[in-house]
Amino acid sequence: MNLIPIAKVTHAVGRKIRSDGLALGLYLLASRVLQKGKSFFYQLVLHAPGINVGPGFQIMGSRFIKFGNNISIYRNLWLEAVTEYQGENYFPVIQIGDRVRFSNGVHISAINKITIGNDVLLGSHVFISDHNHGGYSGDMHTSPTIPPSVRALHSGGAVIIEDNVWFGDNVNIVGPVRIGFGAVISANSVVRKDVPPQTIVAGAPAQIIKVYNVVSAKWEKYV
């Protein structure tokens, strides 16, 4: 007896759904109902009123993560509050404010503290962490002879993101750092130091390129 490959079956079913208007309508309706049910489930278990959760949502250490209201998650958000690694215990805090919007593939990882304010918008593939594998400054210097995957996690301090911050795609942030109110972090930037309020930064490492002038109500070139 010949077995039909799963890929062929999936392709055939997908083709049938696309060619049949009724089947497509039922499929879309079922997907929407399932999505609403999943979001309602997370609203209850995460104590997150109004959260809308897309596919691929992963969460670790949820009891150390606090959610605000009406958070929107497009897809593939990975939230991890790391409580144990290589025999070391941690007591992390991740605080997410109201109306935060996550695009595709955002990864947030904490062993210390990460706070995200209200009305923050995160583009696709943003990475935010308050720690490294090993230490490379100050009083802690990890030997390069130790494989990176088994190096002790080290946090230099918290990541604090104030309200109304916008992150472009592919931004990388490693604490300690504070990002001020209304700041814009341009795509592909690497942030390793504090960002003042109402500024635009860009580059690796990120530097201020514009500042909002409240008198002229314009973003002006930083000099």
CATH number of the 49-221 domain: 2.160.10.10
**pLDDT confidence bin for 41, thresholds 50/70/90:** confident
85's tokens: 């690694």
Averaged pLDDT for residues 97-113? 98
Domain coordinates in residue numbering, the chain = 1-45, 49-221
**pLDDT confidence bin for 134, thresholds 50/70/90:** very high
pLDDT given at position 1: 41
% of the chain with per-residue pLDDT over 90: 77
pLDDT in tens, 167-205: 999 999 999 999 999 999 999 999 999 999 999 999 999
**CB-count burial class (<10 Å; 0-12, 13-18, 19+) for 35:** middle
pLDDT given at position 37: 79
8's tokens: 């062929």
Question: In 123-176, which ranges are E strands?
Answer: 127-129, 132-133, 136-137, 140-141, 153-154, 159-161, 166-167, 172-174
CA-based nearest residue to 127, from 79, 181, 86: 79
CA-based nearest residue to 172, from 127, 114, 123: 127
Q: What is the pTM of this model?
A: 0.84
**pLDDT confidence bin for 59, thresholds 50/70/90:** very high
Question: What is the spatial distance between Cα 127 and Cα 107, in angstroms, rounded to a whole number?
Answer: 5
**pLDDT confidence bin for 2, thresholds 50/70/90:** very low
**What is the rounded average pLDDT for all residues in the chain?**
90
CA-based nearest residue to 222, from 196, 191, 194: 196
Question: What is the spatial distance between Cα 184 and Cα 93, in angstroms, rounded to a whole number?
Answer: 24
Of the two residues 169 and 13, the one the predictor is more confident about is 169
pLDDT surpasses 90 at 28: no
Task: Tell me if the bond preceding 205 is cis, omega within 30° of 0.
Answer: yes
pLDDT surpasses 70 at 120: yes
